[in-house]
């Protein structure tokens, strides 16, 4: 009970921090100066906010007014996806939005999958697949997991899935097109895990992994196009 109260107080304190005008000012100043910037992604910038109680990654939208409007809409969708996935191991905890243009997440210490030195590669991929399947079971697909920057190897050995900006939500059965897209995304997510596990060599996938590979027509077409453009052999 005491621990519960402790969590409650910490959460309340965090909500006060996020809604304080100072916090909005801190975001604007950091965006303008580039201080506290940890990454520049497709949607905008990611800042790190650290004080004696919190360590946060703040995803902020950027660009001109039109782009910002679109990206804020996407950020709100991303927020909904994080809410649905609250508590799934391998998904950063989400603390809400700070205004319309900043999404507040737990900062995960680690390195991007691209540069990560995995201690137990086999086990790392087992855990990554578990995270992805739990996402799907909660009705959220990712759709952009082939991008290495969307995977993070945490220092404690846990794989993390980032960037739910392209997520599709499973809806009631009569949303036929939406749910078709959701299923395509789910297949592409598992294929992405296998792709990374085998260093992009689909021809080397074997055993039970081979039974999990389920290439979609879109992926087949995209691969053909890349080959045709000389981007992959
Ligand atoms: N919760 C987090 N903890 C640590 N680093 C993060 C976190 N969220 C994002 N990042 C860093 O920011 C980068 C961009 O984040 P991402 O959500 O992919 O933004 P975008 O939608 O702009 O691509 C990631 O590749 C990662 O390096
Ligand atoms: Mg990204």
CATH (domain of 219):
1.10.510.10
Handedness of CA 187, 193, 197, 200 (dihedral sign): positive
135 and 214 both lie in a single domain: yes
Q: Which of these, 176, 178, 192, 186, lies nearest to 77 by C-alpha position?
A: 178
186 and 205 both lie in a single domain: yes
* Residue 134 Cβ contacting ligand 1 at under 6 Å: no
Residue by residue, DSSP assigns 144-171 as -TTSGGGEEEETTS-EEE---TT-EE--
pTM of the model: 0.92
Q: Give the start-end residues of each E strand in 65-204.
A: 94-97, 102-106, 110-112, 140-141, 151-154, 159-161, 168-169
**Number of the ligand 1 atom closest to the C-alpha atom of 163:** 17
Sheet holding 37-40, edge to edge: 37-40, 44-50, 55-61, 102-106, 94-97
Q: Do the Cβ atoms of 57 and 106 come closer than 8 Å?
A: yes
**Number of the ligand 1 atom closest to the C-alpha atom of 109:** 4
Last residue of a domain, one of 75, 106, 137: 106
pLDDT attached to residue 16 = 83
pLDDT attached to residue 65 = 85
* Residue 47 Cβ contacting ligand 1 at under 6 Å: no
pLDDT attached to residue 5 = 65
19 and 101 both lie in a single domain: yes
Instruction: Give the closest residue (by CA) to ligand 1 atom 16.
Output: 163
124 and 213 both lie in a single domain: yes
170 and 192 both lie in a single domain: yes
Q: Which domain holds residue 95?
A: 2-106
Ion ligand 2 — residues with CB under 5 Å?
41, 150, 163
Place of tokens 């999958």: 113
* β-pair partners for 61: 44
45 and 91 both lie in a single domain: yes
Q: Which of these, 107, 203, 200, 183, lies nearest to 143 by C-alpha position?
A: 183
* Residue 90 Cβ contacting ligand 1 at under 6 Å: no
Distance between CA atoms of residues 20 and 143, nearest Å:
35
Q: Give average pLDDT by consecutive 10-residue segment, the chain, 233 residues.
A: 62 82 92 94 90 93 87 95 98 94 96 95 98 98 97 98 97 98 98 97 95 95 91 68
Phi, psi of 14 (to 5 degrees): -65, -45
Q: Residue 202 carries which DSSP code?
A: G
- 233 domain residue, yes or no: no
100 and 116 both lie in a single domain: no
Candidates 163, 164, 165, 167: which one to mutate for ligand 1, based on the most atoms within 8 Å of Cβ?
163
């Amino acid at each position: 009970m005491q621990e519960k109260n402790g969590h409650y107080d910490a959460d309340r304190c965090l909500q006060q921090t996020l809604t304080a005008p100072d916090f909005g000012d801190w975001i604007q100043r950091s965006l303008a100066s580039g201080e506290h910037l940890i990454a520049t992604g497709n949607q905008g910038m990611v800042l790190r906010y650290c004080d004696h109680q919190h360590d946060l990654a703040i995803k902020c939208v950027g660009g001109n007014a039109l782009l910002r409007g679109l990206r804020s809409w996407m950020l709100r969708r991303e927020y909904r996806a994080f809410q649905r996935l609250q508590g799934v191991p391998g998904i950063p905890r989400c603390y809400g939005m700070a205004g319309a243009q900043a999404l507040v997440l737990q900062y995960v210490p680690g390195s991007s999958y691209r540069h990560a030195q995995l201690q137990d590669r086999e086990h790392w991929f087992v855990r990554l697949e578990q995270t992805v399947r739990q996402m799907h079971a909660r009705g959220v697909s990712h759709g952009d997991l082939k991008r290495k920057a969307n995977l993070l190897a945490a220092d404690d050995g846990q794989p993390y899935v980032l960037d739910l900006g392209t997520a599709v939500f499973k809806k009631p059965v009569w949303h036929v097109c939406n749910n078709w897209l959701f299923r395509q995304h789910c297949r592409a997510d598992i294929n992405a895990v296998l792709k990374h596990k085998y260093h992009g060599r689909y021809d080397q996938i074997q055993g039970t992994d081979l039974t999990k590979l389920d290439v979609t027509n879109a992926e087949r077409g995209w691969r053909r196009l890349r080959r045709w453009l000389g981007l992959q052999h």
